[in-house]
Amino acid sequence: MTKTLNEILSTYEGTKSELIPLLQDVQANLGYLSEESIKDVSKFTGVSESEIYGVATFYTQFRFTPVGKKHIMVCKGTACHVKGAPQIIEGIERHLGIKEGEVTFDMEYSLESVGCLGCCALAPCAMINDDVESNMTLKDVKKIFRRIERQSKSDGEN
């Protein structure tokens, strides 16, 4: 169950030193850092909105727009790039009918590319939520989505 912003803030003291874990908690519960949540965090901590944006934009983990239930991050680091990441991204875009940085109309999937996932030996790779897909090929794209859909159906039946 997700917490409301007020519930999240109530678990912190409101100090500047708590800013990063507080932002992580906000995003974990709300899905992203909204303009409203940043204003509320600013009031709560006394840290200016511009400083909060500065911190949040420094770390790639923070998002400012909603993402899908299944957030796909495809690595575009050097190893992944030379082993076919651009083609993997194109395959995912075709399958979902969206482009990088977009979310499907039903908010089920979102797609973004990232500089590096730290899995260079497994290139090309992607993360779907917290699950790493490694040594991907264009043929794997459809297989991965079929597996996700099967898992979603079986999760819904339980």
- Please report, rounded to a whole number, the percentage of residues in the chain having pLDDT higher than 90: 81
Domain spans, the chain: 5-58, 70-157
The CA-based dihedral angle spanning residues 112, 66, 95, 125, taken in that order and rounded to the nearest 10 degrees: 30
CA dihedral 18, 23, 26, 32 (to 10 degrees): 180
Structure confidence by residue, pLDDT tens digits, 60-95: 789 998 999 999 999 999 999 999 999 999 999 999
CATH architecture, range 70-157 = 3-Layer(aba) Sandwich (3.40)
Q: Which two tokens stand for residue 122?
A: 């497994």
Question: Residue 152's pLDDT is what?
Answer: 83
pLDDT in tens, 17-68: 999 999 999 998 888 999 999 999 999 999 999 999 999 998 878 999 899 9
CB 111 within 8 A of CB 101: yes
